[in-house]
Structure 1
Amino acid sequence: MRIQSAVFALVTTAFVHIYLPQPVLPLLAQTFDSDMVMVSFTVSAVILGMALSNLPFGLLADRRSIRPIITVGGVALALGALVCAAAQHLWLLIAARFLQGLFIPAATTCVVAYLAKNLPLERLNVVMGTYVSATVLGGMGGRLLGGWIHPPLHWRYAFVSAAVLTLLATAWALCTLPRSDIGANKAPDAARFRVLLTQRSLLRIYLCGAGAFAVFSSTFNYLPFRLAGAPFHLTTEQITLLYLVYVVGIFIAPLAGRIANRFGAAPAMLGGVTVLAASLALVLAPTLACVVLGLTGICTGFFTIHAAAVGALNRRLSSGQGRANALYVLFYYIGGWSGITLTGLAYKFSGWAAVVGLCWLLLLIPLRTGIIEKGGR
């Protein structure tokens, strides 16, 4: 239990960094005299960095003990946050965020591989749901830290706070995790990246995560611009409070793992897609109550799909957990980066309705995965 708690804290603090500037993107646009697409790179640059570094970290997770990986990752994340806090130019902020993204997999991909190797199969779905809950708490905490806990005019202090939290969580993990873990000293297993990519059953799950996260990240990334304008005209603090709907994922993710255990991954995926699609319609409405309800549904649907996909992936693996999870996260974050970039252009030229329309199209990817999984192919 102490190990799971340490892992939970580590993953949570890692995810705090990803979305830290998201609630204050309009403020960053003013601070650096830039537009919404450029300042959105402070989020998408992290996601791109994570996507690029996941494969190397996946290899390390299959070959090395997790302790030195966590040490390097935690220190690099904290230092990157301090550079962000001091940045006086937008491109320096974006570059520091990209470097942070390169080291986040040390506390995400590698930890998933560690759990997959060290836990019995019957507990894996539920614990993976708990892991997803940590990502939820971290995502919500980062948004609250960036836009609410610290006054918006002092957003730089949020990066300093995140650096301190990361160092504390890293120290706790190093004091708690065993000095050697199962599989750390084993010879490299036979599951190569090429093999894992050519298995259709695994590739479908990778694409499912990518499509679902593209929808989720796009919706939440441009939400501040939508709510800051007509007809809402919300302040930064009010917009940040809406990210509290994220708390739904803390409870939904473990529940999705139990549902997948009992009924299978496919029903969980299809249920999540249905809820997510309906909720996107609600965020089109010009009333705040509908937007809040829609955001709650988007969180419910997305985290159901994500938890079911992560659990289904790791239940299929007998070896190569580090590589397979690295590939999943690679697809996942490339999906998020692509979604943010494409919907940003759609929003700039055609407005919020274009963002929602593109998200509906992206939902066809996890829908197809769920249908095929249900058919047992």
Structure 2
Amino acid sequence: MVRTSSQKSLHAPEAYSGKRFLPGTAGFKRASLALFIASFLTFANLYLTQPLLPLFVDEFGISPAASSLSISLAIFSLGAALLFWGPVSDAVGRRQVMFWTMALAVVPALVAPFVESFNQLLVMRVAQGLLLAGLPSVAMAYLGEEFDIRALGLAMGLYISGNSIGGMSGRIISGILADAYSWRASFLVMGIVGVVGTVLFYYLLPPSTHFKPRPAGLHTAITSMWSHMKNTTLLKAYGIAFVCMFCFVGIFNYIAFRLSGPPYYLSTAAIGWLFLTYLAGTVSSTLSGRFIDVAGNRLAVVLGVLVALGGVFTLLLPSLWTIVAGLLIFCFGFFAAHAAASAWVNKHAVKAKASATGLYLVCYYTGGSFGSTGLGFLWHDHGWPGVTAGLVIALAVALLLGLSLREKQHR
């Protein structure tokens, strides 16, 4: 029996004629939507415990710094796994790695509501981090292989918007659900959403028609990364990524403790809504890209860090509205600096750009892991002034690194 075109499988390579996706085509729309969904789910799950930290302290009788491990271990394990999934996808395929890691990441989310101890919860969070790394490790490679260069910028923007919207929405949703039911409901709902999202991803994402398998090449990957670690110019950008993410994760961790106590006593849902300030970063990262074209990466990093510092000092003021303003200012500066530092790496990595970018992300997420827990000790001993001191010192390091960037070193 001859199959008509309407009967052909949506996943058959011939359905897309082997051509790279152009804006407006069916393949572009399906692939972009699939990657947006996957990106949304990845970062919603990664950060969903951030507004829940005070609840963990109350239920499990642990310190704020210990509760932050639910964030720091997930971020750290994701950062470490970035080094693994990329080379694996070189051998077995981009689509396979993204789908199976997404599918398996649903399991710890659905198991987490039934844990009986905080240590068991941490095991689930480590498992989530290791599996959630599958998407950010591979998505950029899929985009580069399957999208026409005329569509790549738009597709990349849609994918990155999934990162920011997912990270923000995961925090807001978990805060609302925890306030209405319990923190366990937050994991359960996100697990169910993850199942639905994974099914949609499977049926939406077109097959890889331009992927060419090759050996995993772990030795080559390690050699490339070692060469990047010896590159002083790249190391400065990696340091900026580490320090900025150290501050970003830490500041949102402990603002939750500050605002859940006197004199504010905000609910978990109200604290979740504070993550709308994240949107300031969506604006600033876009503006930073335009600014870089005019004034260069160095000035963009420096100005971004200075704005972030302004936000930190604003957070010292007691009014709730000034705290919201401080978070907006900080996010604006943080994302501007992050965008400029990541662009610096892409511009100055003379070879193995993929591994240079991967190492940037490893440092970025490792910084978030350290900031999540490290600033907790300052909170425990000195409260918000102690956290502020730690943030100022860290951002001063980022400022010095930014000032030391020199284009002429690579001319």
The 3-state SS of whatever aligns with 2:208 is coil
**Distance in 1 (alpha carbons) for counterparts of 2:209 and 2:393:** 42
Out of 293, 318, 324, the residue aligned to residue 325 of structure 2 is 293
Structure 1 residues 122 and 161 mapped into 2: Cα distance closer, same or farther (>3 Å)?
same
- 1:244 is matched with 276
| Structure 1 residues 44-123: aligned runs within 5 Å | 44-116=72-144
Distance 1:38 1:152 in 2: 25
Q: Matches of 1:94 and 1:188 in 2, distance apart?
A: 30
8 A contact 1:14–1:107 mirrored in 2: yes
Query: Do structure 1's residue 153 and structure 2's residue 181 form an aligned pair?
Result: yes
Residues 37, 341 of structure 1: alpha-carbon distance in 2 compared, 3 angstrom cutoff: same
Change (3 A) 1:267 1:49: same
Contact 2:137 2:358 in 1 (8 A): yes
Question: Which letter maps to 1:226?
Answer: R
Q: CA–CA distance in 1 between the matches of 2:377 and 2:44?
A: 26
- Aligned partner of 1:16 in structure 2 is 44
Q: CA 1:59–1:197 in 2, change beyond 3 Å: closer, same or farther?
A: farther
Listed as ranges, the matches of 1:1-377 within 5 Å are: 1-2=28-29, 3-116=31-144, 130-149=158-177, 151-180=179-208, 182=210, 184-185=212-213, 192-317=224-349, 320-377=352-409
User: How far apart, in 1, do the equivalents of 2:156 and 2:350 lie?
Assistant: 16
Identity of aligned residues (%): 28
**Structure with the greater alpha carbon radius of gyration:** 2
Q: Deviations over 1:158-188 (max 9, x none)?
A: 2122223333333333334442265543567
Q: CA deviation at 1:263?
A: 3.3
Write out per-residue CA displacement over residues 3-37 of structure 1, whole angstroms, 9 at most, x where no aligned residue. Answer: 23322221111001112121121122212222212
Q: Secondary structure at the match of 1:351?
A: helix
TM (norm. structure 1) is 0.90
| 1:321 Cα deviation after fit | 4.5
Aligned length: 377
- Return 5+ residue gaps in structure 1 as ranges: none
- Check the 8 A contact 2:39/2:160 in 1, yes or no: no
Residue 145 to residue 303, structure 1, CA distance change in 2 (3 Å): same
What one-letter code is carried by the residue in structure 1 that aligns with 2:61? Answer: D
Preserved CA contact (<8 Å) 1:146 1:152: no
TM-score (normalised: structure 2):
0.83
The 3 A distance-change label for structure 1 pair 175 and 252 is farther
Summarize the Cα distance change of 1:173–1:77 in structure 2 as closer, same or farther, 3 Å threshold. same
